[in-house]
Structure formats: structure tokens, C-alpha cells
Amino acid sequence: MRQFRNDYSEGAAPEILDALVRTNAQQTPGYGEDEFCAAAADLIRAICDQPDAFVKFIPGGTAANILAISALTDEFEGPVLAADAHPTIHETGAIEGTGRRLLATRDPFGILTPQGAKRVWRDMTSGGCHTTRPGMIYFSNTTEFGHAYTQAEFDTLCDWAQSHDLAVYVDGARMASALTSPGCDLTLEHLAARADAFTLGGTKAGMLFGEALVVNPRSDRAKRAIDRIPYLTKRAGLLNAKGRLMGVQYQAAFTAPTDGGTMDAPYWRYAAQSNACAAALASGLQDAGFELYLDVTGNQQFVWATREQANRFEEACGAETMVAEDPTGADRVVVRFVTSWATTMDDCEELIEFARTL
């Protein structure tokens, strides 16, 4: 059975791998100063409708978060973020290692809200120089629990942050999934116009590795970040000599077929396919008697299961188990299933048939 552990267990999508093979023997300058990175950056500026945007290709998601947060804030500041946000739980103190303190709200499921951010703002600005000053807001799209922000939710966060002179940073490790999820009315152009910085994740979107960090010089904080990021990248050991490999991948990912539109590019097409598989999987698991933990539309799905069922799922398809408070009082856990660019409907049906035996 195919694994449903995560969206980066496979290598690269065929178009990406083909581009790497075709360009393999070409010689280029190092450190991202090559024609492929330049072309990929231009493609990203075009699809974002931000001709002046700064684009930097970074090897991984945690690295991109370190650079963005370090560049957008001072050492005595920190990002306001949800308690379940990726830097809070799964980055081993990487942000704190830069001297910044994470200012977590009480918002559940990784969904940052203005109400939660306001509470942190009130608490952390009442003590003057004795408390860490908020410098930005951070949220991921999709969130760690698969929520895709609507335009209204996004705008409300931006309105609040920018009224308090805070930078807006969107972790887009799963941006492809978010913006192609059913019912999503938030567009990349709108997001790029309002956020100070965001990433377009490649690692979880069919590439071998890589995240594109995009900064819109819309604010003083963003302009300063653009100046700082190249130096912070080198100092952190994240400036790849063979950076062209990320440029090749992103150029291939965002190049649409000649007879198609922007959303027909591999980056978006595979994400939509992954979301469709996840939706089919959720429906099938419900038919098999499993209750959804959350109603989400991205490529992650979560169901309640007994511990024995969770163990069987993990053995069969690598699905990860999460501990959550069961409202029924039963000793149930939550099982996460993740689809990827390589997942097929047949893969989902095989898993659903297995679930019916539990």
C-alpha cells in the first residue's frame, strides 16, 4: 500500500526531474546567481503580480522561517503566532536560537485570529522594555491542521497587523494546496499584495527540495528584510553553491503548457490533484465508519480512531497518530493522512478498502 505519512516521501514530479536531467550538464555561476534562478524568480514575480518583489530560494521550510523572521524583526522582538504553529512545535527552538521569542496565542488548530493576537499584543506591550515586543505575525497556509484561509480571514489578520505596524509573514510550505483547495477565494495575487513576506513551498509540492521566499517591499520592515536576507542566508550556512538546482525546479514547476493557463502549471496541477485525492479519502473513510476530526479541504485529513486502529493504519500506510482531547470521553486518538503529487485515486481506494476491515 502507498504511504500516507506525508507529502514529501517521494522524489520529484516528472516535469521537475526531467528539467533537472535536461540541464544537468550545463555550467552556470553558483550561489543562485544563474539564469535558472533568475528566470524562476521572474516567473514568480509575474504570477504574484509583484514586479519589484525580492525572491530568494532556500533549501527547506525551517530555514526559510528562520531567515524571514530574523530579517523582519529585531533581536528584542518576536512573531505573534498560534500555539500549534510549526515554529512553536516542530522547529526545535530554531527561531529562539536567533534571539527571538515566540509569542504564542491561545488560538486552536494553528489558526491565527485577530482576537488571539490582540491578547498577546496587550500582554506584551504593557511592560515597556521589560517584555518582548511583537514585531510581526506568522501563520501558515494551509495550517498545520489543514485549514486554508479565506480572503476575509486573511484580510482581517493583515488589517490588524498593519494597524499595529507589524509585518505579515505567511509560511507557504503547503501554499499550493491552500490556493487550489475547493472553495478557496484567496488568490496568490491578493496575498502577495498584502503580505510583507511569504513562501511558496516546493518540498511538499513535487520538488526534490526548496522553498521560494518572496518579500514585497511594501513596508519599511520588508525593505530592511530584503537588505538583510542575503547576509543572514550566508551566515546561517544556507547559501547553496549549487543553488541553480532550485531555480531549475521552480522554473519547471511554474511553467504552464503552451495550450494552458497559469493554473495548469505543474505546481498548481499536482496540488489540485492531491487535494482531490484527500477529499475522496475523507469521504471514503467516513463511509467506512470513521469520524472526521476537522472539516478541512487541503491535502491533509484527520479522523478519530481507536488506538488499535491507529496502530494498524500506521503499519499499513505510515499514517501518523496525534493525541487529542476526545469530546466523547472515549480513549480515541487522531490519525493524520496526507496525500501528495504522486497519490492516485486507486491509492485512496486501496486505503479505504483497508479501513473497512478495521
7 in a structural domain: no
CB 51 within 8 A of CB 42: no
CB 174 within 8 A of CB 145: no
Task: Classify residue 126: in a domain, yes or no.
Answer: yes
Residues 186, 57 share a domain: yes
Query: Coil, helix or strand for 292?
Result: strand
Question: Residue 8 falls within a domain, yes or no?
Answer: no
Copy the grid coordinates of residue 87. 515554529
Check residue 260 and give its pLDDT: 87
Whether residue 333 lies inside any domain: the answer is: yes
For 116, the grid coordinates are 488571539
Q: Are residues 301 and 168 in the same domain?
A: no
Domain shared by 217 and 294, yes or no: no
Kindly state whether residue 1 falls inside one of the protein's structural domains. no
Task: Answer yes or no: do 293 and 332 share one domain.
Answer: yes
Identify the pLDDT of residue 268.
98
Q: Note the pTM of the prediction, 2 decimals.
A: 0.97
| Shared-domain flag, residues 217 and 297 | no
| pLDDT attached to residue 43 | 98
Q: How far apart are CA 270 and CA 98, in angstroms?
A: 35
Domain identity same for 82 and 143: yes
Do residues 305 and 209 share a domain? no
Q: What is the CATH number of the domain that holds 244?
A: 3.40.640.10
Report the pLDDT value the prediction gives residue 55, as an integer from 0 to 100.
Answer: 99
* Nearest residue to 68 (alpha-carbon basis) of 92, 100, 93: 100
* Residue 52 shares a structural domain with residue 117: yes
Give Cβ neighbours of residue 94 (< 8 Å, ≥ 6 apart): 62, 65, 66, 87
DSSP state of 130: G
Spatial separation of the C-alpha atoms in residues 144 and 142, rounded to whole Å: 7
Q: First CA to last CA across the chain, in angstroms?
A: 16
Position 90 scores a pLDDT of: 94
State the pLDDT at residue 325.
86
What was the pLDDT predicted at 295?
94
Q: State how far the Cα of 241 lies from the Cα of 32, in Å rounded to an integer.
A: 7
- Residues 226, 307 within the same domain: no
Q: 104 in the Ramachandran plot: left (φ > 0), alpha (ψ -120 to 50) or beta? A: beta
Q: Is residue 297 part of a domain?
A: yes
Q: Which of 92, 88, 79 is nearest to 109 (CA)?
A: 88
| Cell 524562476 -> residue | 40
Task: Examine the fold and report which residue of 228, 253, 278 is the final residue of a domain before the chain moves on.
Answer: 253
In a domain, residue 3? The reply is: no
Last residue of one domain, picked from the residues 253, 285, 303: 253
Find the domain containing 177 and state its range.
14-253
The predicted pLDDT at position 329 comes to 84
Q: What is the predicted pLDDT for the residue at 223?
A: 99
Give residue 258's pLDDT.
87
Strands 211-215 and 54-58: antiparallel
User: 215, 231, 253: which is the final residue of a domain?
Assistant: 253
The reply to whether 9 falls in a domain is no
244/271 same-domain check: no
Q: Tell me, what's the pLDDT at 103?
A: 98
Q: How many residues does the chain have?
A: 358
Place of cell 520538488: 207
- Spell out the per-residue pLDDT of the chain, length 358, in tens: 999 999 999 999 999 999 999 999 999 999 999 999 999 999 999 999 999 999 999 999 999 999 999 999 999 999 999 999 999 999 999 999 999 999 999 999 999 999 999 999 999 999 999 999 999 999 999 999 999 999 999 999 999 999 999 999 999 999 999 999 998 999 999 999 999 999 999 999 999 999 999 999 999 999 999 999 999 999 999 999 999 999 999 999 999 998 888 899 999 999 999 999 999 999 999 999 999 999 999 999 999 999 999 999 999 999 999 988 888 888 899 999 999 999 999 999 999 999 999 9
Whether 348 and 277 map to the same domain: the answer is yes
Assess contact for 322 and 337: CB atoms under 8 A.
no
305, 333 Cβ separation under 8 angstroms: yes
Question: For residue 98, what is the DSSP state?
Answer: G
Residues 193 and 115 in one domain: yes
CA 204 from centre of chain: 8
Count of domains in the chain? 2
> Please, what is the Cα angle at 92 between 88 and 96, to 5 degrees?
70
Looking at residue 328, what is its pLDDT?
A: 87
